[in-house]
Amino acid sequence: MKPSGRDCLIIALDVGTRAEAISLALTLAPFAAWMKIGLQLFTAEGPDLVRVIRETGAKVFLDLKLHDIPNTVARAVESAVGLDVQMLTLHLCGGTEMIRTAVSVAPDTLLLLGVTVLTSANSETLREIGITNRVSQQVVRLAKIGVDCGIGGVVASAREIGGLRKEIDRNVKLVVPGIRTPGSEEHDQKRTMAPAEAIATGADYLVVGRPITSATNPMIAAKQILEEIESAF
């Protein structure tokens, strides 16, 4: 069965307080089944907020982008499982041993996602840290490592979806941030794409933050993006 647009839309709750996060989660629930709690909010409000957002009925994507020694990452995955989250991220550049150890403790109810190259990075960012691959090559390289280790999904920009779909199994979910409607502000994102185009190219889930949460009317912005997603089905 094809998912609804609402099932594909993840709102990045990149706000600083519990009150703002709860208000956004309740307001945007008709348009998005998923709420993403990232580093800013988790650091400010902690695990209790994850429980509160779950209680609104949303599925929770805990975007902690774990990257540490294998044992530490695996224990953090277990802690996240205890919070009943449905998606969790780790950095694939942590390597095979770290990824496999994390996968070994993740239950089927958790979609463990591997972050490839952040959408705010470009080839200059990679060169700076000694990686000579182009972004697209590095994304595919890391995604293949993740999939070989049993990761269930990959986070990448929409511009890499085509390359990834050729190289990795169709069952591996592609989660795509850096979504911008044409003409809207890019902020710090460098590899963006419009919602309908991203879905048509093969994204399974879209992560949208500021285009909705910073809009004058977040409900109208979310509705427009949802309609765009559904137009691509």
Catalytic residues, which ones?
Answer: 65
* Residue 64 per-residue DSSP state: E
Q: Of 155, 172, 193, 226, which one interacts with ligand C5P (CB under 6 A)?
A: 155
Whose CB is nearest to ligand C5P? 209
By the rule CB under 6 A, 207 interacts with ligand C5P: yes
Burial class (CB in 10 A: 0-12, 13-18, 19+), 173: middle
Q: Locate tokens 């907020």: which residue?
A: 49
Name which of 1 and 161 has its Cβ closer to ligand C5P. Answer: 161
Q: Of 60, 99, 110, 115, which one interacts with ligand C5P (CB under 6 A)?
A: 115
Backbone angles phi, psi at 207, to 5 degrees: -100, 120
Binding mask 24-43 for ligand C5P (x = CB under 6 A): --------------x-----
Q: Confirm if 67 and 73 have CB atoms less than 8 A apart.
A: yes
Stretch that binds ligand C5P, among 24-32, 91-99, 112-120, 225-233 (CB under 6 A): 112-120
**What is the smallest separation between the CB atom of 209 and ligand C5P, expressed in angstroms?**
3
* Beta-sheet strands, E only, within the chain: 9-12, 34-37, 59-66, 87-91, 111-115, 153-155, 173-176, 205-208
Residues of this chain that interact with ligand C5P (CB under 6 A) are 12, 14, 38, 115, 118-119, 155, 177-178, 187, 189, 207-211
